[in-house]
């Protein structure tokens, strides 16, 4: 508890408060704009880590992450186009509410629900992360190796609709992670001395997220403008409160564990929350016509999962969402190694970050309720201006890593890869996590085999590792077995599939 109070002392210094404000505002505005997400924004801002203190940068990035989760809901509700993948579900009921003249209530339940869920999630994070870290610190290299493998398989196989596409993306990411001479002999360097140090994660992240997206948008520049629902200041009546608070809490209960698991992600809990609310609602007839529960639950779920994601990130060094992956990259560029040691080695930083999550959450509520009409205006920005700016900052960021023109070529090459991935619907997340975790996976494997003097059975010598392998086997095999047996799908799974078809045309 004292640690947390010290953390607040760090988070509430004027300069860190300023970073939190910038992060929250920036995060919300990029969350509002479809196609530009917190992951891209943090990637574009990675070069600021050269000048800003680690506390300041991480506090800003955490603000962007939370803000992005919130901002997506505004676009979903007003425009029926989700700003973020995690607010796909919000669009179903939220836009119906807006069309029925209840946009203010939809925005209010999303904002207050996000605040409630974010705060509960952050409390759970503060309570859990240090104990998880204490437990993990005793694990050996074989367990680490197994847990990382589990995270890679889970992120690839559980999220997204096509496992094949996921594994293609993961393979690309792991290959990019191999480039360099970290093992002594050059791999995939093509005899180029500039590739000897490997490809900087900043360049890869900026290329895949920013350049890839900018090229993709440039290929689809002109589209029919959408109808936006005009909105005033969000507010809720008594009936809305009484219908919202239970979905908020249930959404939090779904979101946090899903975020905290290595298989993380914010989409699945929003789906589950929506289905639960539809089943439990006293007004089932309103679902599909603008039920406030259908906005309150999923919005709480996606913010709670954002808090949950911080558990594996801080305690294990395992990113489970794209934004967490880029935040991890920023920590590495400070020479910080997230994981169990972080709580002991950098208490000021970690507790400052945790405290700033509370601050960011409160700022979001305070800023966003009055600012909703301003966020709606952002959607009028012409895309050419927006993406010209993104391309500029992307190139600047990539160049400033090493100040060599070669990085700009790499940036362009991976930008084209990012465009191709969007064209062929390959998920980006497995690639970016592969790039980050690949080298660490190899390092842990090397450690384990070195200690055992080359005996492969050491990989199964720790109980945690065995459990992880069993879970991996389950993740891979259960869907196969279910498909072979055919038929007997349970109603929940069917409802999930239906919902997924509905939102992914």
Partner 1 sequence: MTVVVAYSEDDQGRAALAHGVAEARLRDTDLVVVNATRGDSYVDRRFAAGSAADHLREELVRLGVDAVVRQPIDPDVAGAVLAVVAEVGADELVIGIRHRSPVGKMIAGSVAQRLLLDSPVPVLAVKPDGPAHSAV
Per CB under 8 A, residues contacting partner 1 are 33-34, 75, 79, 81, 221-228, 376, 379-384
Residue 219 vs 221, nearer CB to partner 1: 221
Question: What's the start-to-end Cα distance of the chain, in Å?
Answer: 48
- Residue 386 to residue 29: CA distance in whole angstroms: 12
Minimum Å distance from CB 302 to partner 1?
21
Minimum Å distance from CB 259 to partner 1?
28
Minimum Å distance from CB 90 to partner 1?
17
Residue 290 vs 317, nearer CB to partner 1: 290
Q: 202 and 43 in contact (C-beta within 8 Å)? A: yes
- Residue 397 to residue 408: CA distance in whole angstroms: 10
Residue 81 vs 447, nearer CB to partner 1: 81
The two three-digit tokens of residue 306, written as one number:
């954002």
Q: How many residues does the chain have?
A: 505
Residue 163 vs 383, nearer CB to partner 1: 383
Within 10 angstroms of residue 472's Cβ, the number of other Cβ atoms is 18
3-state SS assignment for residue 122:
helix
- Sign for the CA dihedral angle at 249, 250, 254, 255 comes to negative
Minimum Å distance from CB 36 to partner 1?
11
- Residue 222 to residue 56: CA distance in whole angstroms: 38
Residue 79 vs 236, nearer CB to partner 1: 79
Minimum Å distance from CB 95 to partner 1?
11
Minimum Å distance from CB 373 to partner 1?
13
Minimum Å distance from CB 99 to partner 1?
8
- Residue 95 to residue 97: CA distance in whole angstroms: 5
E-state strands within 375-417 = none
Minimum Å distance from CB 505 to partner 1?
18
Residue 9 vs 100, nearer CB to partner 1: 100
What is the rounded (10 degree) CA torsion for 108, 110, 113, 119?
-110
Minimum Å distance from CB 386 to partner 1?
9
β-sheet bridge partners, residue 187: 180
Q: How many helices (H) and strands (E) does the chain have?
A: 21, 0
Cα angle: 420, vertex 267, 57; to 5 degrees: 75
Minimum Å distance from CB 63 to partner 1?
24
Within 10 angstroms of residue 187's Cβ, the number of other Cβ atoms is 14
Residue 10 vs 74, nearer CB to partner 1: 74
Burial code (b: 16+ CB inside 10 Å, e: under 16) for 323-355 equals: bbbbbbbbbbbbebebbbebbeebeebbbbbbb
3-state SS assignment for residue 180:
strand
- Residue among 440, 447, 477 at smallest CA distance from 462: 447
Residue 223 vs 485, nearer CB to partner 1: 223
Minimum Å distance from CB 380 to partner 1?
5
Q: 298 and 274 in contact (C-beta within 8 Å)? A: yes
Residue 283 vs 289, nearer CB to partner 1: 289
Residue 227 vs 455, nearer CB to partner 1: 227
Cα angle: 91, vertex 96, 97; to 5 degrees: 105
Residue 283 vs 377, nearer CB to partner 1: 377
């Amino acid at each position: 508890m004292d640690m947390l109070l010290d953390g607040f002392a760090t988070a509430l210094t004027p300069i860190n408060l300023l970073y939190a404000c910038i992060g929250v505002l920036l995060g919300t505005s990029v969350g509002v704009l479809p196609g530009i997400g917190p992951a891209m924004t943090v990637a574009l801002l990675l070069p600021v880590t050269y000048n800003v203190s680690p506390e300041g940068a991480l506090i800003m990035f955490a603000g962007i992450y939370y803000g992005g989760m919130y901002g997506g809901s505004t676009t979903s509700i007003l425009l029926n186009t989700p700003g973020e993948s995690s607010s796909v579900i919000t669009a179903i009921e939220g836009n119906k509410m807006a069309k029925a003249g209840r946009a203010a209530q939809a925005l209010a339940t999303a904002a207050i629900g996000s605040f409630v869920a974010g705060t509960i999630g952050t409390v759970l994070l503060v309570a859990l992360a240090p104990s998880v870290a204490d437990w993990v610190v005793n694990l050996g290299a074989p367990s680490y190796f197994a847990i990382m493998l589990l995270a890679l398989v889970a992120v690839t196989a559980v999220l997204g609709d096509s496992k094949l596409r996921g594994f293609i993306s993961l393979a690309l990411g792991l290959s990019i992670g191999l480039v360099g001479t970290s093992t002594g002999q050059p791999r995939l360097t093509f005899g180029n001395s500039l590739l000897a140090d490997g490809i900087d994660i900043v360049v890869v992240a900026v290329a895949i997220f920013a350049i890839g997206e900018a090229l993709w948008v440039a290929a689809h520049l002109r589209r029919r403008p959408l109808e936006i629902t005009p909105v005033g200041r969000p507010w809720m009546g008594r009936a809305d409160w009484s219908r919202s608070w239970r979905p908020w809490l249930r959404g939090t209960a779904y979101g946090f564990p899903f975020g905290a698991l290595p298989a993380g992600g914010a989409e699945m809990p929003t789906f589950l929350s929506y289905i639960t609310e539809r089943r439990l609602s006293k007004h089932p007839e309103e679902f599909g016509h603008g039920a406030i529960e259908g906005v309150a639950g999923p919005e709480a779920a996606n913010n709670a999962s954002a808090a949950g994601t911080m558990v594996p990130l801080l305690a294990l060094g395992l990113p489970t969402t794209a934004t967490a992956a880029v935040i991890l990259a920023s920590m590495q560029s400070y020479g910080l190694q997230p994981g169990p040691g972080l709580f002991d080695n950098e208490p000021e930083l970690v507790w400052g970050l945790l405290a700033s999550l509370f601050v960011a959450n409160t700022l979001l509520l305070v800023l966003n309720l009055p600012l909703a009409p301003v966020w709606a205006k952002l959607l009028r920005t012409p895309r050419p201006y927006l993406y010209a700016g993104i391309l500029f900052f992307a190139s600047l960021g990539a160049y400033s890593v090493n100040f060599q023109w070669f990085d700009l070529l790499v940036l362009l090459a991976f930008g084209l890869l990012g465009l191709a991935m969007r064209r062929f619907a390959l998920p980006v997340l497995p690639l970016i996590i592969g790039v980050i975790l690949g080298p660490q996976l190899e390092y842990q494997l090397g450690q384990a085999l070195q200690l055992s003097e080359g005996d492969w059975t050491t990989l199964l010598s720790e109980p945690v590792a065995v459990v992880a392998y069993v879970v991996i086997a389950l993740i891979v095999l259960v869907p196969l077995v279910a498909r072979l047996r055919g038929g007997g799908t349970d109603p929940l799974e069917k409802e999930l599939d239906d919902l997924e078809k509905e939102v992914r045309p």
